[in-house]
Amino acid sequence: MPATVNILYEPLFPVSWSPVAEHHADGPSARVGLLDLLLRSHEIEGLAVPDAPAHSALLRILYALTARVTGLDEALEGPDDWQLLRDEVLADGCLPWKGIERYFARHRERFFLFDPEPGGRPWMQDPRLSDQCDPTSTAGVNKLVVTRPSGNNHSWFRHVRDASPDASTASEAVLNLLTWHYYGPSGRCSSRTVNGVTTASAKAGPLRTSLSYHPEGDTLFETLLAGLVPPTRDVAAERDLCPWEWDDLPDPDGPPPVLTGPCSRLTAGSMHALLLVPEEDGEGVRDAYITWAYRTGRQTRPDDDYLIWQISKQGNAYPRPADSGRALWRDLDALLLIDPPGVAQPRRPTVFEWAVEVSAELRVHALGFEQDGQAKDTQFVDAVTPPVLGFVEKRSARTQPAVGRLRALGERFGSRLDRALRRAWRTYVNDPKDSAHAWAQEGAGRYWPAAEREFWDRFGLLDRTGTALDGGLDATAARTAFLRLAVRAFDDVTASAARTQRGAKAVEEARIELFGDRRSKPVRPDAA
């Protein structure tokens, strides 16, 4: 079978067109090939990939390609010259078609999704797996598509059978291929035999469990330029390679490739090897090999410019994990401030140091996957803020701490509410060891959405001129507003129990936690 489905031309990637696009009537979920994604990025509002981890992974691929076709993959003269070049590209209003044409003319053969010919190099895949893995014990297409149940897992939204799986479309397959490369689990996988040794143990993908934050502009063109970070002076494009640029595939027995610069860090950190098996007509995918890529793993997680890094109690740096129950505004000061508060010493994603030079009206798009390090996947995380990155401008310096104070006030009363509800429940059931999740979770469900609305309302009132003291934040009014929300949630959750004598006593004793007064009761003079 000849190589088929070249992702440069096949419409595999869903996008939403901006109103100025000539063919935006195609619909909000029209798909385009990788070539059109770059050539028409100034007409595309953004990616419309429904799965957050695939969206995050595809953005990293596009960042690397953008750097390649614009020449922003090197900064030999330093970050100032790199910034000037990016300004020139921004002023042109679109990515350079000559750079795109020249790059893909050189690498076109490496962008086929299926290439079963001897010596073929299907995109982001390892053709050696058909010989090194047992063809009767493949992972299967249900395992490839992360939203499908496979193996002994229960079916919730879709009934599929591993013995007779539905084929995957090429679009679905390529997006899930990326999800595996970036968010694949550690642990047991399909056996792979290399140099006579068979093993079936994989390391976790470089983004597994993490939440990444991307600057987002009015068009994909702005988003891609804002997402670039200048390389250090010692980065050379001919050594900082993406996987499809390698002359030869790396040795699975050897160490993983050294990530020498932004392009390799963006695209070559995977610890999994995959190979898609096409249907007979070469259009869809009927099976997949999924196994380990390197026998030895990296000792540390590769640095990533789109993560919030923080410090554990043991002093180790780790990326802030994805949490589907945590709203994006609670991370906002860690995104806007160079030295945000917090015992975890969070470090702002590096990309935001450079993004605002593209536009002060950039939003923050958070994308991630709540999961554990091995097999358990819980939920995608996908959230966008209003335009906020203008706050990192120096002229708004007084406003920056106000964002942190506002976020901290919201967190403070959320924490007090949680403590008060747990205390009330334990007193009510007379069991001090009870986990008390019932009331705490119901209270969180009431408080946090309301607190988020309060946060953005007050965020919109902050001073943009940089002249008002404390950024124009009325801290007293904000404190009163968050306290009012916490009291309302507490009363609503405990209303039914408060009708009984025992419940009313438990509720009233715990209410004091909302006000932060944890002092012990005063001792009466006659108590002794």
List of residues 6+ apart from 410 with CB closer than 8 A: 329, 330, 451, 452, 454, 455, 482
Q: Tell me the per-residue pLDDT of 21-70, one tens digit each, with 9 for 90 and over.
A: 765 555 545 899 999 999 999 999 999 999 999 999 999 999 999 999 99
- Dihedral, 214, 219, 222, 228 alpha carbons, nearest 10: 40
In the chain, domain spans? 13-115+213-268, 396-522
Rounded Cα distance between 87 and 70, Å, is 11
User: What is the per-residue pLDDT for 1?
Assistant: 64
pLDDT of residue 528: 36
pLDDT for 104: 95
Q: Which residues of the chain have pLDDT under 70?
A: 1-2, 22-29, 151, 154-158, 299-300, 341, 390-399, 466, 517-528
Could you give the CA distance from residue 172 to residue 279 in angstroms, rounded to a whole number?
Answer: 14
CA 372 from centroid of its chain's CA atoms: 15
Task: State how far the Cα of 528 lies from the Cα of 526, in Å rounded to an integer.
Answer: 5
Query: Residue 56 has what DSSP assignment?
Result: H
User: What does the pLDDT read at residue 523?
Assistant: 46
- pLDDT on residue 525: 47
Q: Measuring CA to CA, how many Å separate 190 from each of 3, 160, 241, 243?
A: 25, 21, 28, 22
Q: Which two tokens stand for residue 473?
A: 């934040």
Model pLDDT, residue 335? 81
The rounded distance, in Å, linking the Cα atoms of 374 and 397 is 42
For residue 63, CA distances in Å to 9, 210, 356 come to: 19, 19, 16
Q: What is the pTM of this model?
A: 0.87
pLDDT at position 125 is 96
Q: What would be the CATH architecture of the domain defined by 396-522?
A: Orthogonal Bundle (1.10)
Residue with tokens 């002076």: 233
Q: How many residues does the chain have?
A: 528
